[in-house]
Structure 1
Amino acid sequence: MGMPDWVIWLMIPWFLFMIWFLSTGGYFMFRKFLKGMPKKDGKSDLDWQQYYIEKTHHLWSEEQKALLEELVQPVPQLFRDTAKQTIAGKIGELVVKENGKQLNEDFIIRGYIMATPKRDHKWLVETLERKQIDLTPYRELLQ
């Protein structure tokens, strides 16, 4: 008395889906784990990211937060907060390293370009063109 054939055919896609699902989750968990590993200075990438966010938190205005929110719109909702944190950390790093006294649009755009993969730059260019912001100073970073 064996299993009906239809059950076996139902199980094969289910197992393939589960393998794909678990490996995708494992990939993202492993990336997060690596970012949490301490570097030579004793701090991890996540520690530095949090440091720069806390150091520059008071510099963000509501319109600058709205610009960042608009720039991360193409990111799926599930990952949007993480993307905002990563980008804000890079923006904060730029402000701190350049001794910026206030946060401006230039820092936000450069931080976004540096913190995101090239495939996301298309959305940035479209958004900036729609807002009529000159892209000339950022051409080198976008290449």
Structure 2
Amino acid sequence: MSIIVDYLIILWGFLLIGLMGIGGFFMFRKFLKKMPKEDGKSVMDWEEYYMDQSKHMWNENEKLLLEELISPVPELFRDVARHKIASKIGEVALKKNEEMITQEILIEGYIIATPKRDHKFLRKKLAQKDIDVTPYEQFFDLSQTDYTDNWQDSYKNTN
């Protein structure tokens, strides 16, 4: 009986260490996003800036489309994904000097904001909505790392 209790205590210890490691990993990622870059603002500061600047540009149809597109994201991470993607969509709209966020801007920003591994879900959702992805193939061909630093230069080079 004593050996079983010893093993349970050891397993419990490994479980706690593993869970704390996972939690620490996500906290560290959040910490890195709050670190200021060369311009003095962090990634999260820029996300907030673009959200605030583009808040008035959203129509109800685009909000509903965004909600539909992020529906494959697990519920636990959906708010974070929505914020990151919406801020990138706002950034694209502002850089193009658009008055309103259109479906085209939304899809382009969504592709830019998501990693390559999530593009298959996006393609599937767009196919369900009968939206042609042909005009956006150039964005699908690039990975997210190509966008993060100089996405505007990459965008100009593909056009």
TM-score when scaled to structure 2? 0.84
Deviation digits for residues 35-79 of structure 1 (CA, Å, limit 9, x no counterpart): 111111111111110010110101112221111111111212111
**How many matched pairs?**
141
CA separation in 2, counterparts of 1:107 and 1:11?
Answer: 54
Q: Percent identity?
A: 51
In the TM superposition, what is the alpha-carbon distance from 1:136 to its structure 2 partner?
0.5
1:76 is matched with which residue? 74
CA separation in 1, counterparts of 2:27 and 2:90?
Answer: 25
1:107 is matched with which residue? 105
1:27 is matched with which residue? 25
> Which of 54, 59, 63 is matched with 1:65 structurally?
63
CA separation in 2, counterparts of 1:88 and 1:82?
Answer: 10
**Of 101-110 and 5-14, the range deviating more from structure 2:** 5-14
Residue identity in the other structure for 1:140: Q
Residue identity in the other structure for 1:50: E
1:42 is matched with which residue? 40
SS at match of 1:52: helix
SS at match of 1:64: helix
CA separation in 1, counterparts of 2:89 and 2:97?
Answer: 12
Deviation digits for residues 83-132 of structure 1 (CA, Å, limit 9, x no counterpart): 00000110011011111111011111111111111111111100101111
Is 2:58 aligned against 1:56? Answer: no
CA separation in 2, counterparts of 1:104 and 1:13?
Answer: 53
In the TM superposition, what is the alpha-carbon distance from 1:16 to its structure 2 partner?
2.0
CA separation in 2, counterparts of 1:76 and 1:8?
Answer: 37
TM-score when scaled to structure 1? 0.93
CA separation in 2, counterparts of 1:45 and 1:115?
Answer: 13
CA separation in 1, counterparts of 2:26 and 2:60?
Answer: 31
After TM superposition, where is structure 1 displaced by more than 2 Å over at least 4 residues in a row? none
